[in-house]
A and B are shown apart, each in its own frame.
Chain A
Amino acid sequence: MGKEELVKVTIDDQAIKVPKGTTLLKAAKKLGIDIPTLCFHESLPPQGSCRLCVVEITDKTGKWTWIDASCVYPASEGLSVKTNSPSVVKHRKTIIELLLSKAPNAEILLNLAEKYGASKTRYTAIDQGESNCILCALCVRTCNEIIGSHAIGTAERGVHKKVISPFNIAGDNCIGCTACIHVCPTGAIKSKIGKESFEIEDWGVNLKMATCSSCKKPFATAVHLEKLKSQVNLKNQLWEMCPECRRSANKVGTSYSPII
């Protein structure tokens, strides 16, 4: 294998050399240029679906200019990119307005709306009840590609598209890891953590909580702990404690030492 090929791209009049194929979003980030995103997450491959990160790209000949999503567009020699041109700003504004029509209370959208002068009421409101889901699918991708649980997926298409448990039946795939909740940019996934159980009503999730043997507080779902147990080789009694208690008990030489 030879050395990585470097290509020169110009972003907002600043030149930078990056390995060929680096996404324009990453290249911009290296220059400290902020491009807004909703469906992008460092830990996941980009999928270019929210389209908020669109930029204006001109090829090296200067003849062709087009709009594309920077999170997926690979850098190649001589590309010139504008991240804030009038047309980019216009498209972003429209995209924000479109998303606001179905998630009018999402904080992240309201902040973006203020920045881009987007109207909250320009388009027909789409009633999604309490949900602020904007179908970025970060929850689905995290569950499938990182956690490996495949507890949720998208169903139907177009405006009817939604995130559901497989076949809309409460399945036993969900381990209650809550990664989906943390990764959601609009806080659309509503859950309840009680003493006995963990619930996500929309997907029919209802899992038993495990209680810490030391402080007696519920700290994780039982199935989540089972899954971790099968993946990480730790002494059994360590799994019975919440992270805080485990840390304080975790001293080499005690019976709670993680080394078996």
Chain B
Amino acid sequence: MNKEILDGLKQEGLKAIYPKGTKISVQMGTCGRASGADEIYRMLEKELKDSSIILKKTGCLGLCEREPMLNVFIPGQNPVVYVDLKPKIVAELLPFWKKGETPEKNSLMQLNGKEFQTNKKGLKNAPGIKKYNEIPFYKNQQKIVLGNCGFIDPDNIAEYVARGGFSVLYDILTNKKPEDVIDTVDSSGLRGRGGGGFPAGKKWRTCRNVPAKTRYVICNADEGDPGAYMDRTIIEGDPFRVLEGMIIGAYAVGSSNGYIYVRAEYPQAVETLKRSINILRENSLLGKHIFGSDFSFDIQINKGGGAFVCGESTALMASIEGKVGEPRTKHIHTVVSGLHDCPTVLNNVETWGNVPAIFSMGVNNYTKMGTKGSKGTKVFSVVGNVMNNGLVEVPMGMSLNEIVNDVAGGVPEGKKLKAVQTGGPSGGCIPVALMDTPVDFDELTKLGSMMGSGGLIVMDENSCMVEVARYFLSFLVEESCGKCTPCREGNYQLLKILERLTKGEARSDDMETLEELCHTIQNASLCALGKSAPSPVLSTIKYFRKEYEEHIHDKKCNAGVCKALFEYEISTENCTGCKLCLKNCPYEAITGKKDEVHIIHKDKCTKCGICFDVCTFDAVMKV
């Protein structure tokens, strides 16, 4: 690989992104495929067999709620994104696309503007289609790491190069010393996106300064938080960005061996990485003498076996070494003595993905985004009771309120927002009163939660916070490695107490025991998983203490979630005697004559909630 070949790739990539003929790119991330993108792709493949229309796969554009999605590029015009697709709808639209038209039906927007470099290409607007920055979900986002996802073909290195890829690496390997690279990363203020928020530059410098023959760089792609899928989407949509970041990091710290620790439950991400690494080897961007320099580096993939704790640095490295994935005490940091007792830099997918951007944008531009202590952007997966479930990338410091309401569309159906859980299962719940908090590493920690890797779970007024804490605890109890007593036994006992609360079997001293136990687990556990495991309990106690007390002393769940703590009754005022609930009750627990108030018989009622859901007069009540 040299400069001429790179320039050649760039031209080839531009032709692939903006070809001379019509191009349809189906968004084929795991999320898209789960919504039916495969079927649409197969159908188009069949329909376009003898057509000149180019059919491509791309990653996820972030709006997972509206998938399956695809992009239609008609030469001379901005690409148009179609959403909520079904084979039938595609069949209706296809004749238009074939004619070079982009009708409004099922269209979301056109990909125009500087994000997509369409200005440079002099593309015209697609008539009648909304522009990218007119869509609330996208207009407040700032896509850096996700910039290529859902836009380019992740398997085509030329498209990545056309978007500026590997020019940073070329510049670094031909013009910069490793120390200069570390200085740049340091001054960018980049902090680890995997949860800890440790300054990446500092980590790299320490690693470089430890005298050693061998150093390692590792990409942590063991993303295991329920409902979080930032890393998966980045890998599936733009793998070369992550790999370029790793190569730059390896050059900076002086490493010739890299690993990607990716969870085996991400088969598509694993395959994408395998293909991309091979492509880089074929193009001499991995292997010996990259860009003709003295620097040699290669990357191996290591699949995780499904243990959440292996996202923890020492457990991850033990797992790569073939040992049981258990953490060790970290009085000697892994950056000094990590994998095979060698200095090791471990950063997660998103952190590595930021590295090329810091150099291509320049530190000055990069540090303009974010807050004093947290620079750049953060990718969040916003899920739960929210209109637009999906992946968003926003500048650090944006308030929770803006992320949840402005970007993600807020809570649906006129319900009220109650809390947002940040930081994954061991993060905390932040109440609606604190929604104006700017989201950065330090502010979230102050509130008793954490940034974590970027999961944001939105909860509406119908959520019971005791049940929420119980749910996260049940996840962590299953994922505790079991090495140390407080985490193994303590979290199990915490779960038992929370289960009692939700079943109406609470003891009067349970609140005291909960807090005492949380305190010991937090302080005395061996690793960060244990130390942070009580956070869901402690943060919900902090902000929703009343709910705990109601569960313990009144044996009531006012959110109407804990089945043992409420009963269904029919309001004599509202019931019209329409018989709808009666007909739908699978247990024959409801009786009543037409046009007369119905009655629920508690001995037969299993609290399945069907009557509550079907009643159109709000007559079924939880009391």
Which positions in A face B, CB cutoff 8 Å? 47-52, 54, 66-67, 69, 72-74, 87, 90-91, 94-95, 98-99, 101-102, 122-124, 126, 134-135, 137, 153-154, 156-161
Q: How far is the CB of B200 from chain A (nearest CB, A)?
A: 24
CB distance A94 to B490 under 8 Å? yes
CB distance B516 to A90 under 8 Å? yes
Q: In the assembled complex, which residues on chain A have CB atoms less than 8 Å from the CB atom of B513?
A: 122
Which positions in B face A, CB cutoff 8 Å? 307, 309, 324, 328-329, 331, 477-486, 488-493, 496, 513, 516-517, 519-520, 523-526
CB distance A157 to B482 under 8 Å? yes
Which of B477, B486, B493, B524 has most chain A Cβ within 10 Å?
B524
CB distance A69 to B526 under 8 Å? yes
CB distance B492 to A159 under 8 Å? yes
Q: How far is the CA of A95 from the CA of B451 in the complex (A)?
A: 29
User: 11 additional contacts, CB 8 Å, given A98-B490, A102-B489, A159-B492?
Assistant: A48-B329, A51-B524, A72-B331, A87-B523, A94-B486, A126-B489, A135-B488, A154-B324, A158-B477, A159-B482, A161-B481
In the complex, which of the residues B324, B488, B517, B525 contacts A158, with contact meaning CB atoms closer than 8 Å? B488
Q: In the assembled complex, which residues on chain B have CB atoms less than 8 Å from the CB atom of A49?
A: 483-485, 526
Q: How far is the CA of A123 from the CA of B494 in the complex (A)?
A: 9
Q: How far is the CA of A132 from the CA of B526 in the complex (A)?
A: 22
Give the nearest-CB partner of A76 in chain B. B331
Q: How far is the CA of A74 from the CA of B332 in the complex (A)?
A: 9
Q: How far is the CB of A168 from chain B (nearest CB, A)?
A: 16
CB distance A158 to B480 under 8 Å? yes
CB distance B483 to A90 under 8 Å? no
Given contacts A69-B329, A72-B331, contact A161 B482 (CB under 8 A): yes
In the complex, which of the residues A48, A95, A102, A137 contacts B520, with contact meaning CB atoms closer than 8 Å? A95
Q: How far is the CA of A124 from the CA of B210 in the complex (A)?
A: 48
Give the nearest-CB partner of A72 in chain B. B329
27 pairs of residues in contact across A and B, judged by CB atoms under 8 Å: A48-B329, A54-B523, A91-B520, A91-B523, A91-B524, A94-B524, A95-B486, A98-B489, A101-B489, A102-B489, A122-B513, A123-B493, A124-B496, A126-B489, A135-B485, A135-B488, A153-B324, A154-B482, A158-B477, A158-B481, A158-B488, A158-B491, A159-B482, A159-B488, A159-B489, A159-B492, A160-B482
Given contacts A99-B489, A135-B488, A158-B477, contact A51 B482 (CB under 8 A): no
In the complex, which of the residues A47, A67, A124, A153 contacts B524, with contact meaning CB atoms closer than 8 Å? A67
CB distance A51 to B526 under 8 Å? yes
CB distance A101 to B493 under 8 Å? yes
Q: In the assembled complex, which residues on chain A have CB atoms less than 8 Å from the CB atom of B484?
A: 48-51
CB distance A94 to B516 under 8 Å? yes
CB distance A95 to B331 under 8 Å? no
Q: In the assembled complex, which residues on chain A have CB atoms less than 8 Å from the CB atom of B486?
A: 51, 94-95, 98
Give the nearest-CB partner of A102 in chain B. B489
Q: How far is the CB of B482 from chain A (nearest CB, A)?
A: 3
Q: How far is the CB of B505 from chain A (nearest CB, A)?
A: 11
Q: How far is the CA of A122 from the CA of B507 in the complex (A)?
A: 11
CB distance B307 to A95 under 8 Å? no
Q: In the assembled complex, which residues on chain B have CB atoms less than 8 Å from the CB atom of A158?
A: 477-482, 488, 491-492
Q: How far is the CA of A153 from the CA of B329 in the complex (A)?
A: 20
Q: How far is the CB of A115 from chain B (nearest CB, A)?
A: 17
Q: How far is the CA of A50 from the CA of B486 in the complex (A)?
A: 8
In the complex, which of the residues A66, A126, A157 contacts B523, with contact meaning CB atoms closer than 8 Å? A66
Q: How far is the CA of A51 from the CA of B480 in the complex (A)?
A: 15
